[in-house]
Amino acid sequence: MCGICGFYSLENSGVQENTKILNSMTESLHHRGPDAIGFYKKENIYLGHTRLSIIDLDDRSNQPFISQDASKILVFNGEIYNFKKIREILLANGLNFNTSGDTEVLLKSYEF
């Protein structure tokens, strides 16, 4: 199962130190997701993800997963069991997908 971590820093001045902390936190989760590792840093937000690829093996499904307009970022640990049905509904409503996994379905469901 994937691993997620993150934090919000009250100070924007410690970017280099916060980045070290995020890297350390994420690396400590490597055993939970050996297939990919990802980071997101913007302003005071720091997110990390380690991926265990099960459903969609494509690198485009790596996390943190960023929406097409870059206004939303998703990291999650789990599996959306009915994502194929949800995907069908979203497709019927005109949404398009770049991946075949549940991560993009989750984010687009939120946006919809």
Order of strands across the sheet that contains 45-51: 3-8, 45-51, 36-42
Structure tokens that stand for 86 in this block: 């949800």
The catalytically annotated residue of 2, 22, 25, 29 is: 2
Question: Taking every pair of C-alpha atoms in the chain, what is the biggest distance, in angstroms?
Answer: 46
User: Helix 102-111 and helix 83-92: axis angle, to 10°?
Assistant: 50
Q: Any bridge partners for residue 46, and if so which?
A: 7, 41
Active-site annotation holds for 5:
no
Catalytic residue positions, numbered: 2
